[in-house]
Amino acid sequence: MRLKDKVTIITGGAAGIGKATALKFAAEGAQVVICDVVEEAGQSFVKELGPEASFRKVDVTDRKAVQVWIDAVFTRYGRIDVLVNNAGITRDAQFVKYKEGQLLGQMGEEDFDKVMAVNLKGVFNCAQAVAPYMIQGGGGVILNASSVVGIYGNFGQTNYVATKAGVIGMTRVWARELGRYNIRVNAVAPGFILTEMVAKMPENVLAGMRGRTPLGRLGQPDDIANAYLWLASDEAAFVTGTVLSVDGGIVIGT
């Protein structure tokens, strides 16, 4: 019960890594609050987390909506101890696709802006809404979802890589700024994780992912949830401003 009675907010909590994290935290005694844009999945899942858990449909790109949600969480629970900024999307495409003297395509501006809005601004919105409540409460933990591609780069992911590298930068700034208030801020950088979405990929793609991972397998959502759990717990009381790679030793190439 490493998180007993800790009020924990998890964005993108209805599926994948967010769902695994919510289950793990609830099992460790946390009072779990989740949001997602998929309302049906969120409403169904929250019932598994116990009577003190709650769900709300929230678009993390909407700063005002985020603030209304966070205010409501504080009103109900009286404190906010942990934020896991998990919500994220991909819209992959080559920056410029050129062949035999012809421009065949490029990453669209709309796809770039959408990924930036969810993966980077959404993290900013939620952390900024939560931080004052943590300061008032004497401290807290903010955990941000980055990615190994935010460290190494990856082919066809200009927008996604930019956001995950940006998350690392924000994590380090907030660790410096908020440490005086006993707020720890860290990031987790997953490798290839076998979420529901990834599991639907063709077998040859999955084989390629496994081949680039020295441990010879894809990660499970629980692998990331365990990292979040440790960072949220008092066992990591002197850890802040770090990026924890949970990637099976992955080697990123082109």
Catalytic residues: 160
Under DSSP, the state recorded for 100 is: T
Q: Please give the C-alpha separations between residue 5 and each of 1, 128, 181, 244, in angstroms, as whole numbers.
A: 9, 23, 21, 25
Q: Quick one: which of 176, 179, 135, 16 has its CA closest to 84?
A: 16
- Enumerate residues 6+ apart whose C-beta is below 8 A from 11: 18, 34, 35, 36, 58, 60, 83, 84, 85, 86, 87, 122, 126
- Enumerate residues 6+ apart whose C-beta is below 8 A from 226: 24
Residue count of the chain, please give it: 254
DSSP bridge partners of 103 = 98
Cα–Cα distance between 235 and 161 in angstroms, integer? Answer: 30
Token pair 């940006």 in the structure block, residue: 166
Token pair 């080559």 in the structure block, residue: 94
